[in-house]
Homo-oligomer: A and B are copies of this chain.
Amino acid sequence: MWKLEVENGIESVFAKWNFQPQLLMGAGPSNCSPRTTNALTMEILSPVALDMYKIMDDIQCMLKHTFQTKNRLTLAIQSSGHGALESILTNLVNPGEKIIVAVGGVWGKRTVAIAQNYGIEVITLSCTPGEIYNFKDLEKQIMKHKPVLLFITHGESSAGTCQPLDGLGKICHKYNCLLAVDAVASFGGVPLFIDKWEIDAVAAGSQKAISAPPGMAFLSFSERAEQLMRAKKVPPPFYFDVIALGETWNCFGNPRKYHYTYGSHLLMSVREALMQLIEEGVLETWKRHEVCAKRLWNGLEQIGLELFVEKEENRLFTVASVIVPKDVKWPVLLDYISGKHHIDISFGLGPTAHTCIRVGSMGYNATYEKVDTVLKALEDGLKYCRSENGQNGPNSRSEVME
């Protein structure tokens, strides 16, 4: 007979818990639509079931459409967006090879950290916080350093910037350099044309403008990138082996091969989220994000707040970085809005750490109604912060990444 040896205090787990759902108007994740949520409840499937393959085929087909690409190597992986960045780096670049990372905030910095972990030689570029890179400067750097790859963030949600990309692929290819793009915070909410813009590798996430739950990332690789991948000497992590995963996703017309077990519930939910995007239309979805963002920016200015990104054309539709007035403590503001209005807004990170909050309107939450709701809550929150009660409280939080 077995006997338990370790007794941990598990009573706290079973204590009463008042879970309070929040409207997620921060830098992501966003809330799921009822359809997307409901799709999670489908009975779990075996990873080798025919219905599983149908779900994967559907997702792949819709990803290609939404990415605007004919890339055969287009798939979803079971990881956060970070895993997708790591996949791109480890499948395309050998240790000792040189890449340029054009950093615009914490996500660019993370790309640098991941690459350096693998002994990749990284040339790190930086730009004025809240601004973007111009192609002439990037071309000069490519000419100077002759990297195998330029990595750039499309929607840098820590700054609130959107980097133009149209034409950058052509420049890279003049110098035999690949273009890799982190589109985690932009995909689905901002125009993005993988083929037309000659992007060789792109990473996107499930939980931002697609409004599926977190835990899945999307990848697409050009033929040029696939060739490099197949010639790569040092193998990628097993979990991020894109060629092996491409076989699971039937990218190469071979028989499918099992690599690891995907959760069918999340695939089903991602499928449902993409279907809603396609039903609305890709162009129409981008437009909705644009008009909601503009309503948000105007509304923020009307309640006396200033946007961190000065030039409107550099602003990201999905996430706005908003300067916190000097007489307001941001942790007090966010806690008040979360507690009173049940709305989640994000604190600043990297270039906006300690000075900004970040207000998002993405995916299912990109509607005029929700934009107006968050604006009203902010107005009320500012009033509270300027009251006697609101002057007390902390000035920072330990989670802030600089």
Q: Measuring CB to CB, which residues of chain A are less than 8 angstroms from any residue of chain B?
A: 2-10, 12-14, 17, 19-22, 24, 26, 28-32, 37-38, 40-49, 51, 54, 57-58, 61-62, 64-65, 68-70, 78-83, 86, 90, 110, 113-114, 117, 191, 193, 195-196, 205, 207, 213-215, 235, 237-240, 255-266, 271, 275, 278, 282-283, 286, 344, 346, 398-399, 401
| Chain B, residue nearest A45 (CB) | B22
A317 CB → nearest B CB, Å: 13
- Nearest-neighbour CB distance to chain B for A276, whole angstroms, equals 11
Known: A64-B8, A214-B263, A264-B214. A31 touches B17 (CB 8 A): no
* Residues on the B chain within 8 Å of A265, using CB: 40, 213, 215
Are B12 and A31 neighbours in the complex by a CB distance under 8 Å? Answer: no
Indicate which residue in B40, B238, B286 contacts A114 across the interface (CB closer than 8 Å): B238
Cβ contact within 8 Å between A2 and B80 = no
- Nearest B residue (CB) for A208: B261
7 residue pairs of the A-B complex, CB under 8 angstroms, read: A6-B68, A29-B45, A37-B41, A40-B265, A46-B346, A214-B261, A256-B398
Bound complex: CA A29 to CA B262 (Å): 10
Complex contacts, A82 vs chain B, CB 8 Å = 238-239, 259-261
- Decide: A399 near B46, CB < 8 A? Known: A5-B196, A237-B240, A238-B113: no
- CB atoms of B44 and A24 under 8 A apart: yes
B215 x A68 contact (CB < 8 A): no
Please, how many angstroms separate the alpha-carbon atoms of A165 and B326 in the complex?
61
Contact residues in B for A69 (Cβ distance below 8 Å): 6
